[in-house]
């Protein structure tokens, strides 16, 4: 396993993050325990979740699973960098969603209870809240830090301008500000290169891309289609609307995906590993977030470190999946 500092903080994390959004839905609690145990054995030390994962209103099912796993002891809590998120509605009432100070406080207390811990290592707004100013957010986060309930603050799904605004206000308050950002970023979705990645690099914010395989489209989907195993290739295949959107996107990008899978075949590498390996080469990327449904998928993801992409291969990937280029040149003169 490789390790790196998360942004400009002193926190050292593995260069793969264990995402847990399948725990409690597509992955049973027993299998989730096995995945987390194996992750520690492989050196993956950051486990990322959210209070809404499990997707049962107000339950926080995934946090509960992680809490039961941590409660087994054996040094699990001490070996883990524990990250969770807040924003989504977890209870009825106007103050039970978003990023108001009162909701940040309530959400943190609820996550601590479900996780069975006394502090969260990395606490992350899951989305921006346009109705709340950064001053209020930072005041609430600073209080949680002073109380010892959180250690670092990150963000998720924040645009570049919002990251910049948050960092400037944190600096004026004499605080560290954000140490990380989670954003969708992969070979098919490179919009982050316009503004988000540059903002993160400028402010020393670590980047943790989610959906590195674009929900399975970069994981050998055409091969699985030929093998008649496509139902298992696309996450959420049992949910018709989700599957429909993925199939529409696949048809739109079929020629690119075919060229990509052919390139991977020439390299003798699994497409999923090449997709993660590509992210590991990107400037500003600290650690991609993988979301294995099985221990086998976790084992496969770690093999991305063995994939070496030379300049010729990287250039070919840019030809197949051209990025937008830097802002503002990408959309201005």
Residue-wise pLDDT tens digits, 73-123 = 999 999 999 999 999 999 999 999 999 999 999 999 999 999 999 999 999
Q: Given pLDDT bands bounded at 50, 70 and 90, which one contains residue 240?
A: very low
State yes or no: pLDDT of 3 exceeds 90: yes
**How far from 52 is each of 64, 126, 160, 203, CA to CA, in Å?**
11, 10, 24, 28
Residue 238: pLDDT band (50, 70, 90) is: very low
In this prediction, residue 232 has a pLDDT band, given cuts at 50, 70 and 90, of: low
Mean model confidence pLDDT for the chain? 94
Average pLDDT over residues 4-19: 98
The string of pLDDT tens digits covering residues 127-136 is 999 999 999 9
What CATH class does 3-320 carry?
Answer: alpha beta
From 53, 87, 152, 203, the catalytic residue: 53
> What is the model's pLDDT at position 1?
93
234: which 2 tokens?
């696309």
Give helix then strand counts, H and E, for the chain. Answer: 14, 10
d(CA 241, CA 247): 10
CB 224 within 8 A of CB 233: yes
| pTM reported for the whole predicted model | 0.93
Q: Which two tokens stand for residue 68?
A: 């039961």
For 257-305, the pLDDT digits (tens) are 999 999 999 999 999 999 999 999 999 999 999 999 999 999 999 999 9
Q: How far is CA 119 from CA 81, 113, 149, 318, in A?
A: 11, 10, 4, 42
Above 90 in pLDDT, residue 20? yes
Q: Report the 10 Å Cβ neighbour count for 242.
A: 14
Distance separating alpha carbons of residues 280 and 167, to the nearest angstrom = 25
Active site residue 152: no
Among 104-108, 231-235, 319-323, name the one with the lowest average pLDDT: 231-235
- pLDDT band per the 50, 70, 90 thresholds, residue 237: very low
Other CB atoms within 10 Å distance of the CB of residue 1: 12
User: Residue ranges per domain, the chain?
Assistant: 3-320
The whole-number average pLDDT for the span 184-204 is: 97
* Mean local confidence (pLDDT), 297-319: 96
Looking at residue 80, its pLDDT comes to 98
Is 90 exceeded by the pLDDT of residue 247? Answer: no
Confidence of residue 58 (pLDDT cuts 50, 70, 90): confident
The pLDDT value given to residue 234: 56
Mapped onto helix, strand or coil, the DSSP state of residue 95 is coil
Neighbours of 12 (CB within 10 A): 12
């Amino acid at each position: 396993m490789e390790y790196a500092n998360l942004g400009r903080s002193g926190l050292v994390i593995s260069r793969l993050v264990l995402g847990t959004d399948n725990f409690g839905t597509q992955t049973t609690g027993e299998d989730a325990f096995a995945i987390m145990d194996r992750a520690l054995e492989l050196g993956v030390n950051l486990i990322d979740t959210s209070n809404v994962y499990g997707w049962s209103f107000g339950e926080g099912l995934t946090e509960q699973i992680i809490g039961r796993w941590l409660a087994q002891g054996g040094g699990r809590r001490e070996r883990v960098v524990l990250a969770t998120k807040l924003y989504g509605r977890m209870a009825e009432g106007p103050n039970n969603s978003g990023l108001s100070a009162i909701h940040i406080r309530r959400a943190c207390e609820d996550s601590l209870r479900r996780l069975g811990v006394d502090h969260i290592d990395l606490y992350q707004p899951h989305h921006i809240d346009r109705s709340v100013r950064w001053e209020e957010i930072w005041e609430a986060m600073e209080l949680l830090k002073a109380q010892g309930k959180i250690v670092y603050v990150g963000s998720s799904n924040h645009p570049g301008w919002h990251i910049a605004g948050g960092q400037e206000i944190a600096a004026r308050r004499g605080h560290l500000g954000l140490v990380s950002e989670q954003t969708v970023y992969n070979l098919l979705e490179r919009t982050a290169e316009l503004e988000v990645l540059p903002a993160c690099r400028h402010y020393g914010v670590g980047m943790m891309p989610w959906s590195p395989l674009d929900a399975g489209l970069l994981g050998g989907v055409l091969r699985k289609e030929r093998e008649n195993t496509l139902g298992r290739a696309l996450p959420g295949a049992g949910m018709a609307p989700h599957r429909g959107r993925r199939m529409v996107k696949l048809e739109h990008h079929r020629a690119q995906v075919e060229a990509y899978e052919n390139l991977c075949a020439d390299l003798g590498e699994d497409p999923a590993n090449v997709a993660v390996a590509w992210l590991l080469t990107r400037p500003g990327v600290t650690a991609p977030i993988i979301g294995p449904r099985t221990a086998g998928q976790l084992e496969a993801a770690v093999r991305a470190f063995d994939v070496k992409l030379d300049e010729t291969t990287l250039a070919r990937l840019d030809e197949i999946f051209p990025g937008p280029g830097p802002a503002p040149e990408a959309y201005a003169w």
